[in-house]
Copies of this chain bind each other. A is one copy, B any other.
Amino acid sequence: MSTKKKIYKPRAISGFPEWLPEIRAVEQQWMDHIRRVFESYGYTNIETPVVEELDVLLAKGETDKEIYTLTRLQADPRDKTDARLGLHFDQTVPFARYTAQHFNSLDFPFKRYQMQKVWRGERPQAGRMREFYQCDIDVVNPDNIPIYFDAEMPAVMWEILSTLPGMENEKIQIRISNRKILIGLLEHLSITDTAPITRVVDKIDKIGHDGVFKNLTQDCKLTEEQAQTILDLVTTDKDPADIIDRNDTMAQGIAALCAVMDQLKHLPDGAVKADLSIIRGFDYYTGTVYETVFVDKPEYGSICSGGRYDDLAGSYINRHLPGVGMSIGLSRLFSRLLADKKLPIGRKSPTDILVTLPRNTNYRAQANEIARTLRGRGFNVETYHADQKIQKQLGYAEKKGIKYVWFTPSEEGQSHEIKNMVTREQTQADPETWTKE
């Protein structure tokens, strides 16, 4: 038979990143680090299915996020039993649905973290991801939630972002405001349709002071004086405590922002900053808002954002659930730093020690025994299984970045030796007692 084998040559799918083992190892370090810090502040993990019913995803009305829906490949078109399911496009909707669905089984304030992939059916284009990890923390509580949680969020995120592998030398800053300050000013200026104004102010980083002024006067039809008053507020470098409030709403916002900043004094200089130009595009946020930037690299955009909201799950349950949360766009940050060669490259293998197979394979059992002993002592250990020359075995360790090679004795009375592949030093050792230098 000479049937030619058909090969389907695989290729990367645009927008769905995947990493080589040595990069994935760093991504795992990131996830472990983030999880450890979240848990150190008492946040508990939940994980929701990748899908939600479309009715849930669209409960707040049409979304501008592109949703992927599922279809069974061999579905019988007459079969309507399959629910209409869509991949979640963020973790807020699943969290809201989860909290509503399990409301009576949860304890409040409910502090949860979630680290999952989300999907957006974007048209593929450079840098746009269609599958990516987000890492969210939120706290929600029926009816009210102390303002001090608003200060906890940036404290947690600062601790994470300033110590992520590869981020230690980056200068980042969490910028904080309170939406009520600007909203209060707009009330004072008798501007009732606030959403278009906040959307313009939100773009100040991109379009600049003049762009905002032009937009406010031309598109939003504000007077030049109104526009200037708004710009004066959002670009002020005054301490929030020194801002003059024009009404109760502004006063509440200023007091809340001052309370938050006051609780963050323990952070290094410049870690957090009150910045009234931070407003976030979503009307979902009702108080504190956050963005996080690389001070020297504005092109990274905000790597960690969030805010306080008045009602998490109103679409799914008749309970008032205010909360506050922040989210790290993990995959975007990770892949950007990777492309900019800022990430440490990880190990191709988690192995600490490679135990050789001696040329006298009667000693194979002893090699396995050594590996078990070292493994029992907490090391990651693999045994070389192919009957090949020691030089080849050392080459394997080298190639995979395995730091230590343990030479299995291959005759009665021969002593154990271990070689440090970096220093090239080789010393006698005992599997029961050996430790890394």
Contacts and interface: CB of A to CB of B under 8 A. Distances in A.
Interface centre among A11, A69, A364, A402 (most CB of B within 10 A): A69
A344 interface: no
Contact of A18 (B7, B13, B98): B98
Interface string A5-22: 111111111101111110
Given A42-B382, A50-B50, A107-B400, A75 B13 contact: no
Nearest to A8: B59
Interface in A378-417: 379-383, 385-387, 396, 399-400, 402
A51 to B, nearest CB: 6
Assembly stoichiometry (copies) = 2
A317 B399 CA distance: 23
A359 interface: no
A51 B68 CA distance: 12
Contacts of A368: 263, 266
A265 B158 CA distance: 51
A111 interface: yes
A21 B44 contact: yes
Nearest to A66: B72
A319 to B, nearest CB: 10
Contacts of A21: 44-46, 106, 112
Nearest to A79: B123
Contacts of A399: 107
A66 B27 CA distance: 31
A117 interface: yes
A130 to B, nearest CB: 9
B83 A73 contact: no
A268 B131 CA distance: 44
A40 interface: yes
B72 A71 contact: no
A430 interface: no
Contacts of A419: none
A70 B72 contact: no
A51 B124 CA distance: 15
Nearest to A112: B21
A294 to B, nearest CB: 26
Contacts of A16: 49, 51
Interface stretch (A167-175, A227-235, A335-343, A347-355): A347-355
Contacts of A102: 20
Contacts of A8: 55-56, 59, 315-316
Given A18-B47, A69-B72, 6 more contacts: A13-B85, A24-B46, A39-B350, A107-B349, A148-B364, A152-B385
B83 A72 contact: no
21 contacts: A6-B315, A7-B317, A10-B53, A21-B106, A40-B375, A42-B349, A42-B380, A50-B119, A50-B131, A54-B73, A67-B73, A68-B70, A69-B72, A69-B73, A70-B70, A81-B124, A146-B385, A146-B386, A152-B383, A263-B364, A266-B369
A23 to B, nearest CB: 10
A21 B387 CA distance: 49
A429 interface: no
Contact of A48 (B18, B81, B316, B372): B18
